[in-house]
Structure 1
Amino acid sequence: MPKIRSSADLRNNYNEISTFCHDYAEPVFITKNGKGDLAVMSIETYEALTARFDLYAKLQEGLDDVAAGRTRPLEEFMQELQNRRSLR
């Protein structure tokens, strides 16, 4: 269940909200005048979330390449990797 706090709570209970975000690795939703305004989370949670989005984007690129026929045989790719390793 999402944790929802008011902007006044954020101002008055910052340390408590910060501790929650670090302990549970999930965002706290902040309301302003009774409406959703912000999502607050730890830096670690934010970095994990953006890393996941980056991974999803790369996976989608690969799926798009396959759908467009931009592929090559595994043997050719493996040979290229071996050639790169031998150049080091």
Structure 2
Amino acid sequence: MQIVPMRVLKNTVEIERLCAESNEPVFVTKNGYGRLVVMDIDYYERILQKIDEANLVNKGISDFETGNVVKGKESLRKLRENHGI
């Protein structure tokens, strides 16, 4: 984890290099306290993908716990019926 003071933001090339080399966000501080996070777009997209996947898993768990499920054989029958396979 890289931590840099706010004044380093003036050197955008350096911030970009830090993000690319560390492959993680760069935390920017102001007066010693965290203020901003700067990250490479690839890192950002990977994080969003992980969040989406976690949300889907949580929805699946919730569906299972509430009984909102379909048995495997019934599911296959409906797929075949609806898609002609």
TM-score, normalization by structure 2: 0.89
Identity %: 32
The total of aligned residue pairs comes to: 85
Residue 19 of structure 1 and its aligned partner are, at CA, apart by 1.6
Instruction: Give secondary structure in 2 for the equivalent of 1:39.
Output: strand
Give the structure 2 partner of residue 29 of structure 1: 27
CA distance in 1, matches of 2:17, 2:82: 47
Quick one: which amino acid aligns to residue 54 of structure 2? Y
**Superposition RMSD in Å:** 1.5
Residue 85 of structure 1 and its aligned partner are, at CA, apart by 3.4
CA distance in 2, matches of 1:85, 1:23: 48
Q: Where do residues 1-88 of structure 1 align in structure 2 (5 Å cutoff)?
A: 2-11=1-10, 13-86=11-84
In structure 1, stretches of 5+ residues that fail to align are none
CA distance in 2, matches of 1:74, 1:36: 49
TM-score, normalization by structure 1: 0.86
Quick one: which amino acid aligns to residue 52 of structure 1? K
Q: Give CA deviations for 1:54-73 in whole Å, capped at 9, x if unaligned.
A: 11011100000100111121
In structure 2, stretches of 5+ residues that fail to align are none
